[in-house]
């Protein structure tokens, strides 16, 4: 294998040294790909790695300039570059379809190809029926070279098997991981920080498929502050409201992940309003709230049903139903003591099934599995 690491971790993005430094300072939770990089050990392949190669390899430079920069296909450019050193590795782990599907197609042309494990993020792209049909055909073409699909929701397990015809033996379930060292009450500030409301409040975080308009409707008339974290560590986008649209009890702003930890721990409940989806949207917030022993009120989506047992580890309301959401929040305000057992069950469940270390071990077993 020419001295190269036996395993490769592929990320369709950039993970620079500043993130590693923030983790070392306990300002951010540990990241799964960094933990795998050290534990396997493995080589991390991302856009920064590709751009570094482009500076020293003229052909890679042409590919990055044309395919990546001009056409906006950096994930495809990364997959193409990795194709040419695929046989130096025993296995690849792709963190999503962005690079994983393209690499799956390309590996069909590599004799003695490495094992490919791909985490499922979303397999339902396309706004029109024709585009969705084309994408499904692309997924089926790539799936022949994907040895294991890692799903974080049971809804996606069923979708892969029933809709895309993937054999059950190639589908693996791995719960969304959480850094239990970072999300722990021992890390809380001794006194209530200035950014935390002085009295009882509800808290919402995350961006993907969030339905904050329904939450804002539900907030009208409640005599309790609602804090919405308007950004995400995984996105450059944010959520905002015009001054005339925002009720006086709703605050919208960005927070660091250390600040989110404080808000989880001190909120009456964390609210996760979602649009209907089988995707894994909201599960990080559910896990983080559970670790900080905060109740969760969430939209009942297929994706989230894997992580919330209604009435046992959290509460569900119908998606888009502002009235039902308002009543759920009122119920929490009226009887907070009954929440103690629920939050303890959610804490224990998350702590047992979702630690980052377990996730890293699971992916390692999938990568080492025989062909």
In a domain, 1, yes or no: no
In a domain, 49, yes or no: yes
| pLDDT at res. 235 | 46
Residues 191 and 168 in one domain: no
Residues 289 and 345 in one domain: yes
Number of separate domains in the chain: 2
| pLDDT at res. 239 | 54
Q: What token pair was written down for 344?
A: 């303890």
| pLDDT at res. 3 | 53
Contact between 236 and 249 under an 8 Å Cβ cutoff? The reply is: no
* Residues of the chain below pLDDT 70: 1-5, 124-127, 231-246, 371
| pLDDT at res. 313 | 83
In a domain, 256, yes or no: yes
| pLDDT at res. 237 | 46
Residues 298 and 361 in one domain: no
Residues 359 and 311 in one domain: no
| pLDDT at res. 105 | 95
Q: What token pair was written down for 135?
A: 């994408």
Contact between 265 and 117 under an 8 Å Cβ cutoff? The reply is: no
CATH number at residue 148: 3.40.50.2000
In a domain, 2, yes or no: no
Domain region containing 26: 7-177+355-368
Residues 83 and 131 in one domain: yes
| pLDDT at res. 296 | 94
pLDDT digits (tens, 9 = 90+) for 76-119: 999 999 999 998 999 999 999 999 999 999 999 999 899 999 99
| pLDDT at res. 243 | 44
| pLDDT at res. 174 | 95
Residues 190 and 225 in one domain: yes
| pLDDT at res. 278 | 85
| pLDDT at res. 245 | 65
Residue 85's Cβ-count burial label (10 Å; 0-12, 13-18, 19+) is middle
| pLDDT at res. 1 | 46
Residues 204 and 274 in one domain: yes
């Amino acid at each position: 294998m020419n001295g190269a690491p036996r395993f490769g971790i592929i990320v369709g993005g950039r993970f620079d040294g500043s993130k590693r430094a923030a983790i070392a300072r306990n300002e951010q939770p540990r990241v799964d790909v960094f933990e795998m990089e050290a534990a396997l050990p493995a080589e991390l392949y991302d856009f920064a790695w590709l751009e570094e190669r482009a500076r020293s390899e003229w052909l890679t430079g042409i590919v990055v300039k044309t395919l990546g920069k001009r056409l906006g296909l950096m994930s495809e450019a990364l997959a193409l570059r990795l194709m040419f050193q695929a046989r130096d590795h025993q296995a690849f782990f792709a963190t999503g379809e962005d690079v994983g599907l393209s690499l799956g197609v390309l590996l069909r042309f590599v004799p003695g190809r490495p094992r490919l494990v791909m985490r499922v993020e979303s397999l339902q792209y396309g706004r029109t029926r024709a585009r969705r049909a084309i994408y499904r055909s692309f997924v089926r073409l790539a799936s022949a070279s994907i040895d294991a699909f890692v799903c974080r929701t049971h809804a996606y397990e069923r979708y892969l098997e029933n809709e895309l015809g993937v054999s059950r033996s190639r589908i693996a379930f791995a719960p969304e991981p959480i850094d239990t060292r970072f999300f722990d009450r021992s890390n809380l500030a001794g006194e209530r920080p200035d950014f935390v409301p002085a009295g009882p409040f509800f808290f919402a975080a995350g961006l993907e498929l969030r339905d904050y308009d329904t939450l804002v409707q539900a907030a009208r008339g409640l005599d309790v502050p609602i804090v919405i974290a308007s950004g995400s560590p995984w996105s450059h986008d944010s959520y905002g409201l015009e001054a005339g649209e925002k009720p006086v009890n709703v605050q919208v702003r960005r927070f660091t992940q250390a600040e989110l930890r404080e808000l989880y721990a001190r909120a009456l409940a964390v609210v996760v309003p979602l649009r209907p989806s089988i995707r894994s949207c909201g599960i990080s917030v559910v896990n983080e709230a559970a670790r900080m022993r905060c109740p969760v009120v969430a939209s009942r989506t297929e994706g989230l049903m894997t992580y919330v047992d209604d009435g046992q580890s959290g509460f569900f309301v119908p998606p888009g139903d502002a009235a039902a959401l308002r009543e759920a929040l009122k119920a929490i305000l009226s009887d907070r003591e009954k929440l103690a057992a629920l939050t303890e069950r959610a804490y224990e469940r998350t702590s047992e099934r979702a630690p980052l270390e377990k996730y890293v071990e699971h992916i390692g077993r999938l990568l080492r599995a025989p062909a």
